[in-house]
């Protein structure tokens, strides 16, 4: 039981937990709620401020302000033990000392696979996306080779902060220049330009823009606006690298043909979803027991996107994917002994963003028509965000009719 006068360890842990959740891209609405419930379990009566890059816990009297900055990125494999801690903390069954020790352990967890497997995993992801976006032999070859290149550069960027900031621009330029030069010499036509989409998909800020829309819709204007601006900045970096590469290579707009082809058969996109999941496992190393759940969520996201495209049109394909993804994730995590919602949703986002662009907007994103870059990309990502928001609203409405609305969104 918490004491009437808890020591400083309790508010420090609450602040550190909120910072870790922010680093793992939890919406600030959830970060604030978990911090508030955890503090209440320790007998604290504090005020809280949660932003994407700043967390503060302070007493009502103004005495004792505890600040924690999300100064590290929580990897996907680290998000699983963090989700368990997030689920336990509000119940008060974790002491502040135990909580701080667990956060330290999570932060220092080593990846299960060596770096070279991570790089191969990224290349496999790229091939999986190529099977979905443009299933032709040249696209697969390009996705594998360029995926290896971007995978190596990504590893370097994680270890060098200066390189990391410029990574989207550098990768976009190198990938685009290689593809454009290859097209100029070998004239492979429609295969060449769409080869950009798969290896560069990791830099599309779909999760950031989705969170921004959710936070703006819940009146968290500061955090939502900051995420939105950060997402636009990343899109601008990609566009800049691609446009400069096109100009240096001397590729006129008329030669940048991006007609979607499928020379392998209708089975290729469905195989691509599975290949993409294997790439995620090799690259991000989630627990092995999570693989069946991840495969299920990837196919749910892809199926919802496909249905949305055929029923509502290409611009709304992301809406269908986002809606089905969040509803299935909430329904699954609502049951005992299932993964948390955040762990289920994230792989679906990684597939939805480039997938929705593959149906509609990827040609504008990777073409040299700069006026279309922001429009097409923004509409594609906003449709996913609105689908997720709609799914959350439907879920909240549905649980009002249940006797015991146990919202296990973040339970283990």
Q: Which tens digit of pLDDT belongs to each residue from 261-294?
A: 777 888 999 999 999 999 999 999 999 889 999 9
The answer as to whether 17 is a domain residue is yes
Domain span at 175: 115-399
Backbone angles phi, psi at 187, to 5 degrees: 55, 55
The answer as to whether 4 is a domain residue is no
| Residue at a domain's end among 107, 133, 162 | 107
With a cut of 80, say whether residue 186 has pLDDT above it.
no
What 63-69 contacts at long range (C-beta under 8 Å, 24+ apart), as own/partner pairs, is 64/8, 64/11, 66/8, 66/11, 66/12, 66/14, 66/15, 67/15, 68/12, 68/15, 68/16, 68/18, 68/19, 69/19
Parallel, antiparallel or unpaired: strands 54-59 and 46-51: antiparallel
Cα–Cα dist 53/69, whole Å:
6
pLDDT the model gives residue 63: 61
pLDDT the model gives residue 378: 64
The answer as to whether 407 is a domain residue is no
pLDDT digits (tens, 9 = 90+) for 211-266: 887 788 778 888 888 888 888 788 788 878 888 888 888 876 555 555 667 778 88
pLDDT digits (tens, 9 = 90+) for 350-405: 888 775 554 444 444 444 454 455 566 567 667 888 888 888 888 888 877 664 44
| Confidence label for 139 from pLDDT (cuts 50, 70 and 90) | confident
pLDDT the model gives residue 67: 78
Residue 246 and residue 376 in one domain: yes
Go through the chain and tell me how many residues it has: 412
> Who has greater pLDDT, 137 or 312?
137
Residue 223 and residue 81 in one domain: no
pLDDT the model gives residue 253: 58
The answer as to whether 409 is a domain residue is no
Residues 6 or more apart from 42 whose CB is under 8 A from it?
2, 6, 10, 14, 92, 96
Residue 303 and residue 211 in one domain: yes
| Confidence label for 135 from pLDDT (cuts 50, 70 and 90) | confident
Residue 144 and residue 202 in one domain: yes
| Confidence label for 343 from pLDDT (cuts 50, 70 and 90) | confident
- Strand-by-strand arrangement of the 46-51 sheet: 46-51, 54-59, 65-68
What percentage of the chain reaches a pLDDT higher than 70?
A: 82
pLDDT the model gives residue 82: 94
With a cut of 50, say whether residue 410 has pLDDT above it.
no
Cα–Cα dist 12/83, whole Å:
19
> Who has greater pLDDT, 386 or 13?
13
Residues 106-125: what's their mean pLDDT? Answer: 93
- Highest-confidence range of 103-112, 189-198, 389-398, by mean pLDDT? 103-112
Residue 244 and residue 199 in one domain: yes
| Total number of domains in the chain | 2
Query: Sign of dihedral through CA atoms 22, 28, 33, 39?
Result: positive
pLDDT the model gives residue 362: 43
Residue 239 and residue 218 in one domain: yes
- What is the distance in angstroms between the CA of the first residue and the CA of the last residue of the chain? 23
pLDDT the model gives residue 317: 79
Cα–Cα dist 247/164, whole Å:
24
Prediction pTM value: 0.85
Q: What is the mean pLDDT of the chain?
A: 81
pLDDT the model gives residue 228: 84
């Amino acid at each position: 039981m918490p004491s009437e006068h808890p020591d400083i360890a309790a508010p420090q842990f609450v602040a550190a937990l909120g910072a870790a959740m922010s680093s793992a891209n939890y919406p600030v609405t959830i970060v604030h709620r978990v911090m508030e419930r955890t503090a209440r379990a320790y007998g604290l009566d504090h005020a809280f401020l949660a932003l994407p890059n700043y967390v503060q816990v302070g007493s009502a009297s103004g005495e004792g302000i505890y600040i924690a900055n999300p100064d590290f990125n929580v990897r996907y494999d680290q998000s699983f033990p963090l989700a368990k801690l997030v689920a336990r903390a509000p119940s008060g069954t974790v002491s502040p000392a135990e909580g701080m020790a667990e956060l330290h352990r999570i932060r220092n967890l080593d990846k299960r696979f060596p770096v070279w497997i991570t790089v191969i995993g990224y290349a496999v992801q790229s091939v999986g996306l190529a099977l979905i976006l443009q299933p032709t032999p040249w696209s697969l070859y390009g996705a594998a080779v360029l995926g290896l290149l971007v995978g190596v550069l990504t590893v370097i960027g994680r270890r060098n902060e200066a390189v990391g900031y410029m990574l989207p621009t550098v990768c976009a330029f190198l990938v685009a220049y290689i593809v454009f030069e290859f097209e100029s010499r070998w004239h492979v036509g429609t295969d060449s330009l769409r080869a950009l989409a798969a290896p560069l998909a990791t830099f599309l800020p779909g999760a950031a823009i989705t969170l921004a829309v959710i936070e703006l819709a819940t009146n968290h204007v500061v955090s939502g606006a900051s995420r939105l601006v950060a997402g636009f900045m990343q899109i601008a970096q990609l566009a800049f690298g691609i446009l400069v590469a096109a100009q240096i290579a001397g590729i006129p707009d008329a030669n940048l043909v991006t007609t979607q082809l499928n020379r392998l058969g209708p089975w290729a996109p469905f195989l691509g979803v599975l290949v993409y999941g294997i790439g995620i496992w090799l690259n991000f190393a989630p627990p092995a027991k999570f693989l069946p759940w991840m495969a299920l969520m990837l196919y749910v996201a892809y199926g919802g996107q496909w249905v949305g495209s055929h029923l509502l049109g290409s611009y709304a394909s992301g809406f269908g994917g986002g809606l089905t993804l969040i509803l299935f994730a909430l329904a699954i995590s609502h049951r005992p002994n299932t993964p948390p919602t955040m762990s289920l949703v994230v792989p679906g986002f990684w597939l939805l963003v480039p997938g929705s662009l593959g149906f509609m907007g990827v040609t504008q994103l990777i073409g040299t028509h700069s006026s279309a870059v922001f429009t097409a990309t923004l509409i594609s990502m906003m449709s996913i965000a609105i689908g997720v928001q709609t799914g959350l609203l439907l879920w909240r409405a549905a649980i009002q009719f249940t006797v015991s609305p146990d919202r296990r969104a973040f339970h283990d």
